[in-house]
Structure 1
Amino acid sequence: MTSSRLAHEHDEHVCPRFHRAIELVGKRWNGAVIRALMDRPRRFGEILEAVPDLHDRLLSERLKELESEQIVQRRVYPETPVRIEYALTQRGRDLERILAEVERWAHRWLPQPSKS
């Protein structure tokens, strides 16, 4: 598909794939969870610490959703006690540049949130 055809399609309607991607990454907490995993794999509690105001039940739901979308991988290490880590898949890693741009845009254009 040529760039002129892409531009033409862009003018007429929003691509369903684009819309689905925005809904997935933009769903409350999903972007923050993905961002928290960009530095390194993390355990459940480490993700909770990295994402302020996120509660464990909701994190559990979001991780399951991101895992079903193959953005996050759940790794179980058979140790005593069992260790479980969450890491980005290649599909999740491919969002890194995009989310970095969103973060850059936010720092430029959005006010600093007030501390409660």
Structure 2
Amino acid sequence: MADDHDARHCDAAVSHAFSVLGKRWNGMIVDVLGQGELSFVGLRRAVVGISDAVLSDRLTELSETGLVIRQVEPGPPVAVTYALTDAGARLVPILSQLGEWADGNLVRR
């Protein structure tokens, strides 16, 4: 019976991870921030096709989940940058492995 419980817990954890990372743009934002902190404008340029409103929403969500931190440096002018937390940084190699797996195993349409 303990094995059944562990399997359900694992499925819930994977499901939770994909509920965050499966949203459009979230994985790309984490991947880009894995290369270093950026301003909002820098992120918008790096994540081609994302709107300001969606980027703002995704950054808020990623902050709430503990993957991204918003850093405000007093000005003038005030500077706001976004960076990965330790948890977010630990996700970067996993995303890289997932990308490698996808390249070798998923059929592109």
Q: TM-score, normalised by structure 2?
A: 0.86
Q: Which has the higher helix share?
A: 2
Paired amino acid for 1:84: V
Distance 1:24 1:93 in 2: 15
Q: 1:99 aligns with which of 92, 95, 100?
A: 95
Residue in 1 that maps onto 2:67 = 71
What is the count of residue pairs matched by the alignment? 107
CA RMSD of aligned residues (A): 2.3
Residue in 2 that maps onto 1:42 = 38
- Structure with the bigger RCO (C-alpha within 8 Å, sep 6+) is 2
Q: CA deviation at 1:107?
A: 3.1
Q: CA deviation at 1:18?
A: 1.5
Residue in 2 that maps onto 1:56 = 52
Structure 1 unaligned spans of 5+ = none
Structure 2 unaligned spans of 5+ = none
Q: TM-score, normalised by structure 1?
A: 0.81
